[in-house]
Amino acid sequence: MVKEKSTQKQAKILRLFRKIHRITGAMLFVFFFIIAITGILLGLKSNSNGLILPKTTQGTDTNLKNWLPIDSLHNKAILILQDSIQKDLSLELDRIDIRKNKGIVKFIFENHYWEIQLDGATGKLLSVAKRHSDLIEDLHDATILDRVFNTSQTQIKLLYTLIMGLALLLFTITGFWLWYGPKRLKKSRKALK
């Protein structure tokens, strides 16, 4: 009798986990799909032949003593951005990526995904390219929603990451139990006979 109640309890838990797994999966399907596709693209970005992430070019000199000052390179990057792309684009920098071993400096802008690569020693323009990888990353972690709704900090990204992380943990636990539970239930039923 005790083993029969235990078996019924296991079956009840299994039904509950199946229901949680199914409902959560249905509710978050679109988000998991976006995370999967963007994750694959981000994994391939360095091997995309410049399609997702611009190729890093080669400068003329890797000795920092021979390089122009960063502010001078920054001013050149801004002029190039305004002359080559669009006059009214935001000039706010996301980061300056110095590649000493390549002899270049990348200026990556905050609000429009453009990148300008300059030779560190001469200031010569080496590349102007769109960083599709940054847009894909913003889709992947929901930063794009913080941009669209102009939140002061990354509240949407934080909430999204928390929800999706907890959902993945829930899927892992319920998925394991959906695999293991029937085996355990079958074993319990055999023991009853």
**pTM exceeds 0.85 for this model:** no
Q: Is the dihedral of CA 88, 89, 90, 96 positive or negative?
A: negative
Domain ranges, ordered by start, for the chain: 2-45+139-192, 54-130
Residue 2 banded pLDDT, cuts 50, 70, 90:
low
Q: What's the chain's average pLDDT?
A: 93
DSSP string, 76-97: HHHHHIIIII-TTS---EEEEE
Phi-psi sector, 58: left (phi>0), alpha (psi -120 to 50), beta: beta
Query: Which pLDDT does position 65 carry in this prediction?
Result: 97
